[in-house]
Amino acid sequence: MGFDDLAARRRAYPSRRRKPAAPSFALVAALIAALILPDRPAMAWGRMAHRAATRLAETRLSPEAKALVRSLLDEGESLADASTWADENSRDIPGSGAWHFVNVPLDADGYSARDCRDGCVVSKFHEFYNILADKTAPKARRRMALRYVVHLVEDAHQPMHVGDRRDRGGNNVQLTFFRDDRTNLHQIWDSGLLRIGYKGERELVEELVFLARRPEAQDWIKGNVEDWVDESLEAARQAYRVPGSREYLRTGMRIGKEYQDLNLPLATRRLAQAGLRLSDVLNSAASEKPFAEKPTAKPAREKVPVPAR
């Protein structure tokens, strides 16, 4: 359904919502708190993105990794199902929201351990990986570790869960994206780009598989989570900018085709990298090996200047 069809449907079926009552003091206070809180919501990639990256990973699992996954997941639960478990159950695990991201200043040279306070996507990946790879750990702990490892590998590839402009990962940057005037930069990267760019999960998976077969994809299976968040930081520098300029996106701006055309390939590439690396992580865990860092040669780059906050 196109935007014009959707608009016509809305005109044919007008909203039955009542006129909203004046907001209470408590509601206003809650909204203000949401704007000033430094934490980001647990959601990173949307459901389709997580599932698609995981389905790519499933095609490259070793026999040992497939057996490990089958032995840990609930009956009828696929690895793609497990990929969204951490988001769906975040409210039941106090403090787990902070595990999905790491705040790295946009003008930093890269990730530093001091960026990780009280648990972040980097430290929690290592923690859960060690549990998953430990065959002496209780099955229930390894099951949870598997679900988190899958999810956190993918979250580490989401630019808006790394680059920090003190705006809660873009949640405070309210934008109009095509005809959606009730979205923000974080939501655009969660699902907006992919929803417009692909007809559904199947088409996205096909594109990820295509990218994974390209010769340069072999170089993606390198490095560790610290390298992956550095890549996301670099991607965030592009994600935050108005296409074709060095200006940062600000609340109230309208973006559309130019932003979509520039950033959809980047989002898709990040998901393909996440899927390939996830398969490597799970294959290593099934072999009970430490996830040894595989250094990635990083060419020197010009530091992107960031205006003072």
Check pLDDT > 70 for residue 220.
yes
Tell me, what's the pLDDT at 164?
A: 86
Beta bridge partners of residue 111, listed in sequence order? none
Backbone torsions φ then ψ of 292, nearest 5 degrees: -65, 140
Nearest partner of 148 among 220, 89, 228, judged by Cα: 89
Residue 299 has pLDDT above 50, yes or no: no
Q: What is the pLDDT of residue 290?
A: 76
The candidate with the shortest Cα–Cα distance to 125, out of 100, 160, 95, 105, is: 100
Note the pLDDT of residue 309.
31
Q: What pLDDT does residue 118 have? A: 84
**This prediction's pTM:** 0.81
Question: For residue 299, which phi and psi values (nearest 5 degrees)?
Answer: -65, 145
Q: Looking at the predicted structure, is the pLDDT value of residue 306 above 90? A: no
What pLDDT score does 140 carry? 97
Structure confidence at residue 1 (pLDDT): 43
Across residues 22-39, what is the average pLDDT?
42
* Residues in the chain, total: 309
Q: What is the mean pLDDT of residues 123-127?
A: 96
Using DSSP bridges, classify how beta strands 174-177 and 254-255 pair: parallel, antiparallel or unpaired.
parallel
The predicted-structure confidence for 88-123, as pLDDT tens digits, reads as follows 999 999 999 999 999 999 999 999 999 998 899 999
Would you list the DSSP string of 87-117?
Answer: HHTGGGSTTGGGGG---EETTSSS--GGG--
Percentage of the residues of the chain whose pLDDT score is greater than 90: 76
Instruction: Encode burial over 167-188: b for 16+ CB neighbours within 10 A, e otherwise.
Output: bbbbbbbbbebbeeeebbbbbb
| 162, 102 contact by CB (below 8 A) | yes
Range with lowest mean pLDDT among 32-41, 131-140, 229-238: 32-41
CA distances to 45, 53, 240, 251, 253 from 248, rounded to whole Å, are 22, 29, 6, 10, 10
Q: What mean pLDDT do residues 202-230 have?
A: 96
**Distance between CA 33 and CA 31 in Å, rounded?**
5
Query: In the predicted model, is pLDDT for residue 17 greater than 70?
Result: no
- Which residue type occupies 222? K
Query: What's residue 54's pLDDT?
Result: 98
Predicted pLDDT at 100: 96
Give the confidence band of 39 by pLDDT, cuts at 50, 70, 90: low
162-177 per-position pLDDT tens digit: 998 999 999 999 999 9
Instruction: Report residue 205 as tokens.
Output: 């998976």
User: pLDDT band at residue 133, thresholds of 50, 70 and 90?
Assistant: very high
pLDDT bracket for residue 40 (50, 70, 90): low
pLDDT of residue 43: 55
Domains in the chain, please, with CATH?
39-286 (1.10.575.10)
pLDDT class of 16 with cuts at 50, 70, 90: very low
**pLDDT confidence tier of residue 30, bands split at 50, 70 and 90:** very low
Asked whether the predicted pLDDT for residue 193 surpasses 60, the reply is: yes
Long-range contacts of 286-289, Cβ-Cβ distance < 8 Å, separation of 24 or more: 286/62, 286/64, 286/65, 286/67, 286/68, 287/62, 287/64, 288/133, 288/134, 288/135, 289/133
| CA torsion through residues 286, 287, 289, 293, sign | negative
Q: So what's the pLDDT on residue 288?
A: 78
- pLDDT confidence of 4, banded at 50, 70, 90? very low
Name the more confident of 27 and 132: 132
